[in-house]
Structure formats: structure tokens, C-alpha cells
Structure 1
Amino acid sequence: MTTAGQAPTGTHHDAASRSRHRRGFWLVVGAFLVLMAFTTLPTPLYPLYQQRDGFPTFVITLIFAAYGIGVMAGLYLAGHVSDYLGRRPVLLAATAVELVSAVMFVLLQDTASLLVARFLCGLGIGAVTATATAHLAELHAVGRPDSDGRFASVVAGAVNTGGLALGPLVAGLLTQFLPHPLTVPYAVWVVLLAVAFVALLLAPETVHRPASRPAYRPQRVSVEPAARPHFSAAAVAAAAAFSVLGVFTSLTASFVGGTLGLHSRLLTGSIVFGVIGASALSQVALGSRDVPQRLRAGRAAMAVGLVLVAVGAWTTSLPLFAVAGITAGAGVGLVFNVAITTASTVSSPEHRGETLAGMFLAAYAGITVPVVAAGVAVTYLPARSVLVVFAGIVLVAVLVSTTRLLTRSSAGD
């Protein structure tokens, strides 16, 4: 993660420049949405890959984990370089990586290529998230100098989560009614990513490159000693929250198609859309509440949702499973929102980017490690049993970590 301190937003800009930056803001919004939606596009298609290649469910979780590892690598290696290379070059490079990934999905027909394509997708997104968020804040600051930064922040968050929600829904629509389901969605995204690349070329740069480029180093992950108790509780909560998203995005298709015998990709995509969409909606609806209120609401929603996940999985009830996902998703959004707020407030300004990087890495570790463990378990145990055990473990982690955060907030530590 990086901050936007290098942007020339304090300089004078004429009306034409402000107009260019306003147009650039919406060009970056569109490109960001396309990029984020691409990351979840394969979600309803995993059973088709499984049928084509004959691999066990565990391999689906490995494919998903490849994406999570790619994101962590992108965050660690490139999440900060736009501060001196410029926002646009990093976004263009990341979009090019996503294009390569999309072309691989279209042209290559083996499991190894699928793993590589997912890793590349994650690698590009790891560089995109921080850079696009900073770019939007800077474009808005120049284009709307009399406005505060909350609008750009809300838009960036909505696009980030909204894109993730749209991917499986659009893939479900495209593949439910059109032929060649393992080719058509990616072919469409090759075109959309090319359009996004052009849009980014037209967006203004907001960073002045230094006369001498600093020596490259990977992103530091640093948490000051005084902040570590708060950070550790928030990091566990963020990891637990993201593990819920990970299991729903990686295993919903297997549960709906395998356990329930419902082979509708549109249904799978709609469930995942509901889970991630609820995460975005809860942040918009309750994001202005104070930290204890958000945390209590998120904890309650996560707890109810996870209990319903266990019941829905055990009774093989599709309506209950869908309601469980939406409820848990709403809690995920609030818990993660508080985790990011905590990381921002307990760190000093000079270490804020490094602390936020640590929080995002913890979150993506949560979306990767438990999903792989669940995938291993599904190889030997019924999927519904794995979901029940997973829900119980995550519920304990959420309750413990959020209680620690609430206690420290009340004590004013």
C-alpha cells in the first residue's frame, strides 16, 4: 500500500486541466472496475474445468490460492513503486499483465496454464489496488479542488468490491446462455482490458517523477511496537473475514453443483455476487458509524452468517446457504473496514503505508491458507462436513479477535 503524498495536487491548475482530471477520474474508475471484475470471472466456471481436466476439488482451491499468492507478491513487490514511477505506468503495466492472463485463459487448455494465469492475474491486481486508489484520490483533488476526499475514497472502495461482485455474475450470464463457456468470458475480457488500457493512456498523470529515481526495494511491512496489540487483533479479524470470501468464491460452485446437483453457472455467480455485494453494501450503509458500532454489527452478522453456513451446508438447503453467504458477507465488509481503519489510526503517518501493507498481506493470507486447508479436507471428507468445521473455526477466530479489538478500543489503549 502507498499513500498519495507525491501528487502535485497543491499546484495551480486552470479550468482545462481540472476538466481533464475530472474525465481522467472516470476513465480510471472504468478501468479499475474492469480489472477487479476479471479477478472473479472464473468463479462459476471451476466445475467445468474440473469436468474437462478430471482433477479433484482440492485443485480448485490451489487455483484460487495461486491468485491469492499472486496478489501478495504484487503488493510486496510493486504496491509502492507508483510513488516515484508514476500512477499511470504502473497501472498500464498491471493491465498488460491482466491481458496476458486473459489471453492464456482463451488459448491454453491445461491445468498448469490455469494455475499460471491465475497467479499472473493476482500479481497484476496486487499492483493495481493501491495505485488505482491513490490515482483516483489525486485526480479528484485536482478536478474538484473544493471537495473533500471522501467521495474519491467511497468510489474507490465501491469499485474495488463492486468489481469483485460483478465478475461471477457476468460470467454466469455469459456462460449460461452462450456457447463455449471456457472461452467466451475471457474473450470478452480481452477486449474490455484492451479498452481499459487505452482509457488509462488517456488519463492524466498525477505524480511528478523525481530527478533521480530511488533504488528499488520491496514494500516494507512495518508495525510500530505501540501499535502491535491493536494491529494483531485487527489482522486476525481481517484474515478470518477474507477466509469467508475465499471459501465462497472457490467452493460455492462445487457445493452448488456437486452437493446440491444444481448445475447453473448463473446461480453460482449470483450467490457469489450476493456475498461480495453485501460486503460492499454494508460498508456504504454503516461506514460512517464509529468503530465499536461497526465492529459489533460486523461481528453479529459474521456470527449469524457462519452459523447459517454450517446449518445450510449440513441440511443441504440452498436458500439457507444463500442467506448465510449474504449475511456473512455483510459482516465481512464491516470487520475488514474496521481492520483497515485500525491500521490507519494506530500507525504514525510515516509508517502508515507499511502498516496498511501488512494488513492487506494478512487479509490475503486469510484468503489463501484456510482455502487450501479446506480444499485438502474436501479430498477426504464430505463438502458439507468441511464447511461446518470451517464455519466453527472462523467463528471462534472472529469472536476472539473482534472482542480483543473492542476491549482495546474501550480501554483507549
Structure 2
Amino acid sequence: MPASVATAVEAAPPASPAAAPSRRWVWLAAWPVVAVLALSNEPAPLYVLWQRDLGFSSATLTLIYAFYIAGLLGTLTVAGTLSDRFGRRPVLVPGLALGIVAGALFATAHSVPALSLARLLSGIAVGAFLSAGLAAVTDVADRTDKRFAGLVASSSMVGGAAVGPLLAGVLSETLPGPSVTVFAVQIALLLAALPVVLRMPLPERGREPRAAAGGRWIRIPNAPRPHRRQLLLGLAVFAPAIAATGFVLSLGPTLLADLLHTSSRILSGATIFGLFAAATGVQFAARRLRTRTDLLAGAALTVTGMAALALAVATTSVAALLASAVLAGLGQGLTQLGALTMLSANVPTSRLAEANAALTAGGYLLAGLLPVAAGTLSDATTLTTGTVVFALAITTLVTTGAITVLRRP
């Protein structure tokens, strides 16, 4: 996330003199983000297993996913502000701890309430790292290397989201005790991230005056008033794009199992891996493009992905479903890169974590509501009807957002 405005960079508190910023620390700071974001999507391939054993419906499945969104959004109302005021570490360490607790709950869950609680805690952990973690990656970079740091921060988010479901799919199919094995490995990854969080050369923010920190601690996250237009433009295309990927995460395995007649957890995990791997790769491929190009191209890819999703359910085609997942990932990757770039290029670092939290909260709010609505509609009608209506809704929203971006300078 570049910071091309010199005054915004100069407003940041001085970094600790003990360790000079370097690209090595940028990569290291991204590792905890990858580890925690892996937890965000790791349960997805196991939903079919839990659904079979516990006997819950598609609506209940999307409701469990909504607990994750609730934990995430609730955390974003406070984590960005606390991080900007007191520093990244006081937010990141508790986030890691809650991620470990969530992993333990997933490993031993035998009821819907247990799964819901685990999903809630994982949402809190992810919320901490989507605000403070992404900002920390930028913090440890040299002020002349912010664009590289932004690319690493954004790709670490989607890269972790890609690794988790693939790991879960492979381990659950090839080793005994599917959920126990998967989340024991995940807990080990989180523990390995702790020393990095503790040693990162981060700015000390505890002595910042209250006014600089932005007032109340708990509030709806936002960008500073002069930069809210950039936030809204980013959300106009990023929110529908991430809602599209949210559908794949929550109902994709059910589509594979019930509609396309395959229950392979490896295929389910590989589908989600392909989605987020595409989102990661496209960000590196598009690193030299203009921000507007990122947003418009991402919107176009999201629309194409929704067309492929509708085709998949109409023709019961696994290939079309996989294509829709990859296209949705490409759309999220480009819109996310464009939106984060706009914010970090303009927002002072003293408010950057909060602005990142605002972008993420807006995106995940839609990503929570629409898949739940689609799951409820699918139970009331058919899975095909719910999927097609969802695809049409996303197409309408992202097209409207793209037109808005196109009309703005």
C-alpha cells in the first residue's frame, strides 16, 4: 500500500531505532497475517463433513459463517482505533491467542453452537490482523518502499486465505481424525507466528496525544473526512467482489456435494485455494497498473465470475464452478489492491489502520448478508434458484460500483 503523500508518512511516529526497516521485515511481518488468514477459510472444506454428522441445513451453514462475519465486524469497530493509538502489538498478540482458542474449538466441535463460537473467535482474530496486521506490514517498510509493502500486505491477506482451505482439504482426506489433525497444524502455525509479532520493529504509539488518535475508542471505523471519497469508491466495487468470494466459501462445498455430485474435500479445498491463489497472483501481475484500472478490471472479472456461477448450476458443470471461483478471486484481488492503494496513498499513517478496518468492515458486511440470504432462499426454494438470484444481485451491485468509479476523477 503506497504512501506517496510525504506529509502523511512524516505524520507517523518515529520507528524504534533498534531495527531499521527493510524488505526482510516486510516479508516477516506478513507471515502472521498469512497464518491467521489461513484460519479464516480453513473450516470451509470441512463444512460438508460437519453438515453430514450434525445434520444442519444450508441456512444454518451460512448462519455459522455469519458468526465469523459478526466477530470480524465487531473487532473492526475497535481494533483499528486501538492499533493507531497504542500500537500494533497490543492488538496482534490477543488476536493470535484467540485464533489458537478458535482452532482448539474447531478441533473438538460436536455441535452447531461449538462451531458458531469457534467461527466467532476466528472472526475476532482475523479482524485484529486485517486492521493492525496489514498496517504493521506497512509500518516496518522504509518510507520509500511503501508500494512494495502495500503489495505484500494485500497479497498476504489473500495468500493466507488460499493456503488454509487447501491445507484443510488435503489433511482431512489423507490423515485420520480430519478436524483434529487440520486444526492441530493450524495451532502450530499460529504459535510459530508469535515470535515474529513480538520482535517486529514497530513504532511506539503509546505516548500519542488523544486528539491524534482520533477520539472515541469504539466507533464505526472510517477514513478521515478529506479521504472518505476514496474509501467509498473502493467499497463500491470491493464489497460486491468479496461478497462473491464469500458465497464460494460458505455454499461452494454444498454446491459441489449436492448439485454437482462430488463430496471430495480435496476438490473443495482446491477450489477455494484456486480462488485466493488467483487473487494473490493477479495483485503481483497488476502491480504497475493504475488504481482505476485495478478497480474496473476487478469489477469486470467479478461479473464474468457470476455468469460462470449461474452457468455452473444450470448445467451442473464442475468446470464452470471452478472457473467462477477463479474469476471471483481475480475480481477480489484487483478490487482489493485498488482500494487499499487508494487509502494508503492518501490517508495519514496515524489513521491508516482504521481506514483499512473501514474498508474491510464494509466489504465483509455485504459478504455476510448476501450469502446468508442466498442460503435462506435456497432452503425455501432450490439451491439453483438461490445461486442464480445471488449472482444477479452481485452483478447489479458491482456494475453500479464500476460506473461510479468510471465517472469520478
Same fold at TM > 0.5? yes
How far apart are the structure 2 equivalents of 1:356 and 1:44? Answer: 28
DSSP 3-state at the match of 1:367: helix
How far apart are the structure 1 equivalents of 2:27 and 2:334? Answer: 26
Counterpart for residue 373 of structure 1:
373
Shift of 1:6: 4.4
Assess if the C-alpha contact under 8 Å between 2:81 and 2:354 holds in 1. Answer: no
Assess if the C-alpha contact under 8 Å between 2:20 and 2:201 holds in 1. Answer: no
How many residue pairs end up in the alignment?
399
Counterpart for residue 196 of structure 1:
193
Counterpart for residue 183 of structure 1:
180
How far apart are the structure 2 equivalents of 1:350 and 1:239? Answer: 24
How far apart are the structure 1 equivalents of 2:203 and 2:346? Answer: 28
CA RMSD between the two structures: 2.8
Counterpart for residue 8 of structure 1:
14
Change (3 A) 1:305 1:107: closer
How far apart are the structure 1 equivalents of 2:351 and 2:198? Answer: 31
Counterpart for residue 295 of structure 2:
295
Stretch moving more, 35-44 or 290-299: 290-299
1:74 matched to 2:101? The reply is no
- The one-letter amino acid paired with 1:29 is A
How far apart are the structure 1 equivalents of 2:405 and 2:341? Answer: 12
Deviations 1:14-48 (A, max 9, x none): xxx339x7765554332221111111110100011
Deviations 1:137-158 (A, max 9, x none): 23233xxx7x522222221111
Assess if the C-alpha contact under 8 Å between 1:96 and 1:197 holds in 2. Answer: no
Shift of 1:189: 1.4
Match of 1:18 among 17, 20, 23: 20
TM-score with structure 2 setting the length:
0.88
Counterpart for residue 96 of structure 2:
95
Q: In terms of Rg, which structure is larger? A: 1
TM-score with structure 1 setting the length:
0.87
Shift of 1:239: 1.8
Considering Cα pairs closer than 8 Å and 6+ residues apart, tell me whether 1 or 2 has the greater RCO.
2
Assess if the C-alpha contact under 8 Å between 1:236 and 1:362 holds in 2. Answer: no
Unaligned runs of 5+ in 1: none
Counterpart for residue 162 of structure 2:
165
**1:309-348 equivalence runs, <5 A:** 309-342=309-342
Assess if the C-alpha contact under 8 Å between 1:312 and 1:320 holds in 2. Answer: yes
Unaligned runs of 5+ in 2: 1-7
Assess if the C-alpha contact under 8 Å between 1:25 and 1:203 holds in 2. Answer: no
Change (3 A) 1:156 1:335: closer
Assess if the C-alpha contact under 8 Å between 1:299 and 1:402 holds in 2. Answer: yes
How far apart are the structure 2 equivalents of 1:67 and 1:274? Answer: 22
- The one-letter amino acid paired with 2:70 is I
- The one-letter amino acid paired with 1:47 is V
DSSP 3-state at the match of 1:273: helix
DSSP 3-state at the match of 1:81: helix
How far apart are the structure 1 equivalents of 2:138 and 2:355? Answer: 20
**1:108-257 equivalence runs, <5 A:** 108-141=109-142, 148-210=145-207, 217-222=217-222, 231-257=231-257
1:271 matched to 2:271? The reply is yes
How far apart are the structure 2 equivalents of 1:319 and 1:156? Answer: 31
Change (3 A) 1:54 1:212: same
Deviations 1:88-145 (A, max 9, x none): 232111100111111111233211011011111111111112212222223233xxx7
Change (3 A) 1:354 1:36: closer
